Structure 1
Amino acid sequence: MCQAEFELAWAAIKQLKRPLSDQEKLLVYSFYKQATQGDCNIPAPPDSDVKAKAKWEAWDVNKGMSKTDTVKVYIAKVEQLKKKEAD
C-alpha cells in the first residue's frame, strides 16, 4: 500500500453518496488521524464536549498502530464502504 492509494481512498470517502453512520465516521476519522499524525498527542477534551470526546477516544484507541498498518486498514475500510454503497 502506498501514499497514492491512501490519497485515492481519502478522496473516495468524500464521494460516497450514502451518508455514513456516526460509528463509520469515527472509524474512518480515527484511522485517518493515526495514519497522518500518529498517536493521539493531545489531552482528552472535557466530557461536556461529546463530539470532541468521541473523536479523541476513537483516535486514541489506535495508539501504537504503525502508519503502514493504519494506512492498510483505512484503505480496506473505504473499500468496504464503497462496496456497501454499491449493494
Structure 2
Amino acid sequence: MYASFPKIPCTSCAYCMKGCPKQIGIHGIFQAYNLYTMYHDLSGARHKYQWNTEGRGFAKASACIRCGKCEQVCPQHIHIRDELARAAEALEG
C-alpha cells in the first residue's frame, strides 16, 4: 500500500546539508513532506516541518537558492532542489 504513495527516499544521512549555504533543514523537510504524502496529514506535516526547520535552527525549503551543492553530494541522486520546491509549496502554503 505504501508503495503507491510518492515519497522522497533522503535515510536522513544529511550529506546534503553539510554544504548548503542557506543551512536548509533538508532531511527534516523531507521527513515532514513524506508524512504529508503518505498519510495526507497536512496539519501534522506542517507542525513537523516547523519543528524540523526553524525549531531546530534551520532554514525552510523556500530559502533554497538552487545552487545544487546538495545534489552534488547526495548518494541517492535525489533531485533535492525540485523536492524542496514541492515541499515548500505544500507545507508553507
- TM-score over 0.5 for the alignment? no
More helix by share: 1
Structure with higher Rg: it is 1
Higher relative contact order (CA 8 A, sep 6+): 1
